[in-house]
Structure 1
Amino acid sequence: MKTMLYLLLTLLLPGTLASSGGADLTLTAGAGGSVVVNAAVDRIRSNCILGDDRLFLRRLAYVETTDGEDSNTYRPGYDGGLWQIDEDKFLETTSCPSSISTECDLISSNFTIDWRTTSWSDLRKPLYSGLAAALYIKKYHSGSPPGDVTSQASFWASNLRPGASKTDFITKAGALKGIDCSTQLDLAFILDGSGSVSSSEFRRMLDFISDIVSDLDIAEDEVKVSTVQYASSVEGSILFGDFTTKNNLLNSISNIIKSNGGTNTAAAILHTANVLFSPASGARPNAKRVAILLTDGWSQSKTATISAATKAKEEGITMISVGIGSIDESELKAVATQPDCTHVILLQDFTEIDSLLYQLKDSSCGASTVVDKDKPIMTPLPVNVTVDDSFVVEDDDDPASPDGGIDDVVVGEVICGTLDMYASYHTPRPSPAFYDSKDSASDGKPGVIYFNKDMKGRSLYITVIASRLPLTIDQMPSCINASFSVGISQLPSKVEIICREGLVERECTEDDLEDNGFSCDESSNVSNPCSSGNVCDHAHPSDTTKFIHCDVKGNMYVTQCPGKAQYNPDTISCGSEPVEGGVSCDVYNPCTQENIANGKFYFPYPSNPSKYIQCDAFGKSWIRDCPSGLVWNAALYTCYYNTGSEPPVYTSIDPPVAATTDANPCNSNNNGQVFPHADPTKYITCAHNGVAVVQSCAPPLVFDVIVKTCNWA
């Protein structure tokens, strides 16, 4: 058995964030679509330009241009962009009067945009159009913007579109699809039942919570709700595990009896973190954790309240503060998750509480799940549903602290599906329209996101868009547990030499190294040509007796051919011996999900006609050899005889096909079809005029009758 020696060089630089460059469609003139509008709104709100916008920006873009889908959005002679801000209204904002001077400064510091020097034509870029809309709204509403959709319609008809009908705004805004909350969310309500809250105000608070619950999918695998009431002390609670049906939960909320006394907010927050969000109370380890504090006054101890909220946030709970009436704004900001401008909502009185319904649902369902080290989060993949979920990796390191010797990476893995990861330090909801880095994953090919050491101390936000394999493949028994996971793993930082005999790896001995003439010095300066997700082999740039093997994470293995034989990239062989499992990186991998979904599993191998490419159900490409004397025939979809040569007359298949009554299942009407062979490591492909060609699966694969290709046993 010949020994293959591997040298792992971890040349994927952990100081960089990405496996690919970023994208920003919010600064692309003429861009549109809901994903672009959402990205622009998230950037504006998360930078506190109009943090508490009550969904006004989102609704306004949809009402004005259907998120840019209207054909006249970017019409000649009009530069108002996705939000259709007229030139005269835009010019009102460029002087940055005192009512919006703070926002102009934030735009300058966070986006490096001098708003005073912008021109109307800049609004063809989505971010600029959204900023103009936000500044115009803020100019006329120094406090919170119009809260409910009716108030927003009034502002629109009076200021942005004088003479227009408020009903038009309300009707079209009502057609805007809200955020999908089909996710595991544990949502807790912390209710102020102190003496300063009247019985009617407390009832209004309960009705409001019921309205939110009514709009959510209450189920064991989706949203679960708990409540706690407090005054001088903590009163009775509804636990996450108490109810899994909406009607029973609503009845229990309606029956909450108001207490009286002081305002011990700290005790209520600690109870939420220690009791409500415990496994014993029904909290789920991988669910989003959100707590909404509703209060009308000042707590008994500001210091204790802030300390309790800090503990809750350290436990991965997103804290949202809703202050009603005379409150301590600085205390509510300290309680809330950052940025506080999107997690603190201030109301004049209880009559405004209904305006929060959609904003709180959006904030709760869109909250990020905290990813802890050594605790990967696994999420099931439902059938025919695309999952869009948010995660955050919080970095508490001091930016000035020295780097350690081992680097961490975020790894996304998927079973029976596909997964795209978008990462950013600059927005809580990165997306295809705005991200700093992205990577993809499929079965057996994890996606990897690298941390940026220049951003030490800042949170990394990750959006995952995942979907299950098509039903034709999804029927496989192995896909019952289709799911994806997001976790943190360590990136090795040392060089290892590994010996492999066949497919078995082991530690190398000194004799191994001497016998094969391996030199580490020759390989240590080789640049890494690998990329995440591509398992393949490169020719060595300077040594013809070596080649470079890439694994799924993009790590490179400089491999010495046994006995210093010459590596041939065309045949993927060391001398006359083929490299077991070898795949050329120079060959495009045709095993896309689209091809697999359409039943296309076989493709020509460009550099050698006596080989072909076979795809498995998970997108992995395998280089196969045609039987001796045959070449790949793309028209017949199988290995066949060279054009001009006379094929032999078919006699029989040995042994016969067990699944058919006729030894030869092929006829003139089933060219290209594939049938099982009595030997599970083989299969039969029907060629021209009923010729049956017996082909072999590569070990250890066997023929899978469901997907009609070789697959893992």
Structure 2
Amino acid sequence: MATPLRHSFSGTKALTFVVAVLAVMVKGQSSGPGQIRVNFAKGTEVVEAVLGVLRDSCLYSDDAKFLRNLAFVESRDGEDQDTYRPGYTGGIWQVDRTQFERTKFESPRLSAEYSLLLSKLGIDWFGVTWADLVKPLYSGIAAALHLILEGAPGTVASDVTSQAIFWVSRLRVGRSGQEFLISMQDLQTDCQRSNQLDLIYVVDTDSSMGSPHWTLVKAHIKNQLVKLHGQSGLGPQGDRVALVTYSAAATLDFQLGLTTDLTSYLAQVDQSPRAPGPGTNTAAGLAMVRLQMLADTRPTAHTVVILITDSPADDRLGAITEAVLLRNMGVTIHTIGVGPNAQRAELEQIASTPSCSHVHTVASYMDLDSAQLHLEQFSCQQGTAGLPGPQMLKLGETTHGCSKDFIGQLPTDGLGYAVTIAVTDGSADILASYSTTQPTSTQNDMQHTLVPAQPAVIQSRDPRPLTIAVKTVGGATGLRTCAGNVTVSVDLLNARIQECNGKFMDLLLLWDHALVPGNSALTLMGNLSAQLVGKFALSQDKHRVGVAIFDQSAHNVMWLRDTQSFPKFLTTLNQAQLPGTSLASDLGAALKWSRQIGLSLQHGARTTSGKTVVIFTTGTPTSRTDMLQEASLLRAE
């Protein structure tokens, strides 16, 4: 019997919430994040992968495409023979030494970016040297940081003439803007997609929206329709669009597939009435998409929802729940908040991650088109890997023919899954990624070539969505690499803790004192904690553990940085004291404390470890909404 190759994911910033004993560790060896961290790598696909990482980490949103254009102007995406010349290590973006040094010496202006680099990418920028910029990712980061110091992205316009002026005035003083413009003539920047979109607008039309506002919303939708028509066409073989409006209840204005050309779509939007009402039932609008519209979406298309609202939802928890259900079904959600009453925290809970590219806020309905570039760019990115959007993987076994590629995504419920993939009569390439729904050979967390003699097993307990692509159609040739089938089997992982490959955990225990007051509860939680932690080898160089007691606030018992040994841990538990009597249990406050203090670098958390929070409780938190929000923020970090 063939021995399967195993890969197990946790990621350096993976955070898992557990109430039973459940943990996340790395087992197996992946091939790394692709070519973007490889010295002297080059090419358009490498550049696009770097830009994707910068966007998904929220470090730099290249909406004007200047950073993308800059790579081509400076080095033709690294293909210019002088890119990696002796004595110069500025890389694809040709970042000069003085420009690079600014990104370190002007540190107070970049503190937020340093934090993102460390938390999202595991990069301590103060440990990076100019010589490291021969790695495309590091060159791209340096270029982005330097642009931020120069006022970008806000000061960079989207037209190439303005970009040429910015280039010669801020980056290449003394050069001619004509050089920039000539290079742009050789760079094809049009949107090109190999798959279609099923785009659903969900618009809040409650009593806060007047008739002039509705006119502006319809104008915005029509502008987007014109753009989609110019990119991929509208209709059965192109993009399809639908509209849902809601106030106290939801209304389906027009369904996917009922209109087949631009003229008809524009007429449908013009004829859509505004149905004002006293409520803002965002949950009903999203539920209509899930219950009445997803059945009409195409398996080869990527389903995208764009929510436009100017008010907080009447049932915030219901709206978030519906959004989670949609996202778990493979739907991408953008949110656009209009005006001062739109609640960004709520929009972030509803939208797909990362929030920097999926959550948009505008001052008024007149400014809706300022969010259009974000949506257009996202739409153009859907087909970069030549695959449709991922379908949600379910327990059990499915079989897929080798005639086309397959892409799936594991549920984000944190239960832990094992995916076994096998191929017959040929080979297949497996690409997996947490950071993108379109893994490529240059942007992935694991890459492997599958053959019949060796099935692959991918294990993950990470709450982030893991996208797995199985490619059986070879590159530009379009030839199949296998003649049989690919089987994908999904099973639950056993709830056991594993330690391998030198990857260790930062484990934070939260004891709920308020719901079970008294020393007997303290003893019970101490005993359970000892049973759990006893499974680990504790030290500063291995697993670390921290403990806090919470009621209306969190109270530290043991910092992660104080981890020494298991006997020392037991001594600390025996010396623990309850903070007092309380009748309230604020788990949201405890999770916020965990995010800001308990799991901070200052108190002993490490950038290279997995993160697990174990909650000991027997009751219901006082504020479920705040708890869910804080849990989501923790996972996002």
Once the two structures are TM-superposed, the CA of residue 60 in structure 1 deviates from its matched residue by 2.8
C-alpha distance in 1 between matches for 2:95 and 2:256: 46
The verdict on how the C-alpha distance between 1:143 and 1:273 changes in structure 2, with shifts beyond 3 A counting, is farther
Amino acid at match of 2:288: H
Aligned to 2:334: 320
C-alpha distance in 1 between matches for 2:474 and 2:124: 45
| Structure 1 unaligned regions, length at least 5 | 1-7, 400-406, 494-713
Q: Alpha-carbon deviations, 1:434-481, whole Å to 9, x = none?
A: 434323358xx498442245x54343223444427999999xxxx9x9
C-alpha distance in 2 between matches for 1:486 and 1:11: 13
The verdict on how the C-alpha distance between 1:362 and 1:410 changes in structure 2, with shifts beyond 3 A counting, is farther
Contact 2:6 2:456 in 1 (8 A): no
Within the candidate set 210, 235, 240, 1:224 is matched to: 240
Aligned to 2:498: none
C-alpha distance in 2 between matches for 1:219 and 1:419: 33
The verdict on how the C-alpha distance between 1:471 and 1:21 changes in structure 2, with shifts beyond 3 A counting, is closer
C-alpha distance in 2 between matches for 1:289 and 1:204: 22
Aligned to 1:652: none
Aligned to 2:321: 307
C-alpha distance in 2 between matches for 1:377 and 1:174: 43
The verdict on how the C-alpha distance between 1:393 and 1:165 changes in structure 2, with shifts beyond 3 A counting, is same
Once the two structures are TM-superposed, the CA of residue 391 in structure 1 deviates from its matched residue by 3.8
Residue aligned with 1:423, SS: strand
Q: CA RMSD in A?
A: 4.1
Within the candidate set 392, 406, 411, 1:394 is matched to: 411
Within the candidate set 171, 174, 177, 1:165 is matched to: 177
Structure with greater helix percent: 2
Amino acid at match of 2:201: F
Q: Alpha-carbon deviations, 1:242-279, whole Å to 9, x = none?
A: 234555444434543444445433322221222121x2
Within the candidate set 93, 102, 105, 2:103 is matched to: 93
Contact 1:228 1:268 in 2 (8 A): yes
Contact 2:335 2:358 in 1 (8 A): yes
Once the two structures are TM-superposed, the CA of residue 32 in structure 1 deviates from its matched residue by 0.5
Bigger relative contact order (CA 8 A; separation at least 6): 2
Within the candidate set 100, 106, 113, 1:103 is matched to: 113
C-alpha distance in 2 between matches for 1:166 and 1:275: 53
Residue 286 of structure 2 is aligned to residue 269 of structure 1: yes
Residue 35 of structure 2 is aligned to residue 29 of structure 1: no
Aligned to 2:589: none
Q: Alpha-carbon deviations, 1:3-50, whole Å to 9, x = none?
A: xxxxx4857556577687446321222110112112222222222212
Within the candidate set 333, 357, 377, 1:359 is matched to: 377
Amino acid at match of 1:320: H
Once the two structures are TM-superposed, the CA of residue 190 in structure 1 deviates from its matched residue by 1.9
Aligned to 1:559: none
Residue aligned with 1:267, SS: helix
Q: Alpha-carbon deviations, 1:406-427, whole Å to 9, x = none?
A: x732426589x96422123455
Residue aligned with 2:109, SS: coil
C-alpha distance in 2 between matches for 1:156 and 1:358: 24
Once the two structures are TM-superposed, the CA of residue 293 in structure 1 deviates from its matched residue by 1.7
Aligned to 2:82: 72
The verdict on how the C-alpha distance between 1:157 and 1:392 changes in structure 2, with shifts beyond 3 A counting, is farther
Contact 1:217 1:223 in 2 (8 A): yes
C-alpha distance in 1 between matches for 2:269 and 2:441: 39
C-alpha distance in 2 between matches for 1:201 and 1:472: 44
Within the candidate set 367, 382, 390, 1:369 is matched to: 390
Within the candidate set 408, 412, 420, 2:429 is matched to: 420
The verdict on how the C-alpha distance between 1:392 and 1:65 changes in structure 2, with shifts beyond 3 A counting, is farther
Aligned to 2:457: 450
C-alpha distance in 1 between matches for 2:102 and 2:477: 55
Amino acid at match of 1:228: V
Residue aligned with 1:435, SS: coil
Once the two structures are TM-superposed, the CA of residue 210 in structure 1 deviates from its matched residue by 1.0
Within the candidate set 200, 203, 216, 1:191 is matched to: 203
Q: Alpha-carbon deviations, 1:255-306, whole Å to 9, x = none?
A: 43444445433322221222121x2xx2235643221223344444433332
Once the two structures are aligned, what percentage of the paired residues are identical? 27
Contact 2:195 2:382 in 1 (8 A): no
Residue aligned with 1:488, SS: strand
Contact 1:319 1:343 in 2 (8 A): yes
Normalised to the residue count of structure 2, the TM-score between the two structures is: 0.62
| Aligned counterparts, 1:509-588, within 5 A | none
Contact 1:466 1:484 in 2 (8 A): no
Aligned to 1:241: 257
Amino acid at match of 1:459: P
Amino acid at match of 1:189: Y
Normalised to the residue count of structure 1, the TM-score between the two structures is: 0.56
The verdict on how the C-alpha distance between 1:129 and 1:469 changes in structure 2, with shifts beyond 3 A counting, is closer
C-alpha distance in 2 between matches for 1:381 and 1:184: 19
Contact 2:393 2:408 in 1 (8 A): no
Residue aligned with 2:257, SS: coil
Amino acid at match of 1:421: I
C-alpha distance in 2 between matches for 1:155 and 1:227: 40
Contact 2:39 2:136 in 1 (8 A): yes
The verdict on how the C-alpha distance between 1:192 and 1:13 changes in structure 2, with shifts beyond 3 A counting, is closer
| Structure 2 unaligned regions, length at least 5 | 9-25, 495-637
The verdict on how the C-alpha distance between 1:78 and 1:464 changes in structure 2, with shifts beyond 3 A counting, is same
Amino acid at match of 2:316: K
Amino acid at match of 2:393: D
Bigger shift: residues 131-140 or 8-17: 8-17
Q: Alpha-carbon deviations, 1:370-409, whole Å to 9, x = none?
A: 3322474858958xxxx7x75422342347xxxxxxx732
Residue 146 of structure 2 is aligned to residue 132 of structure 1: no
Once the two structures are TM-superposed, the CA of residue 336 in structure 1 deviates from its matched residue by 0.8
Residue aligned with 2:232, SS: coil
Residue aligned with 1:82, SS: coil
Aligned to 2:19: none
Aligned to 1:496: none
Amino acid at match of 1:309: A
Amino acid at match of 1:284: R
Contact 2:214 2:274 in 1 (8 A): yes
Number of equivalenced pairs: 462
Contact 1:210 1:253 in 2 (8 A): no
The verdict on how the C-alpha distance between 1:218 and 1:70 changes in structure 2, with shifts beyond 3 A counting, is same
Amino acid at match of 2:149: K
C-alpha distance in 1 between matches for 2:145 and 2:476: 45
Residue 351 of structure 2 is aligned to residue 333 of structure 1: no
Aligned to 1:612: none
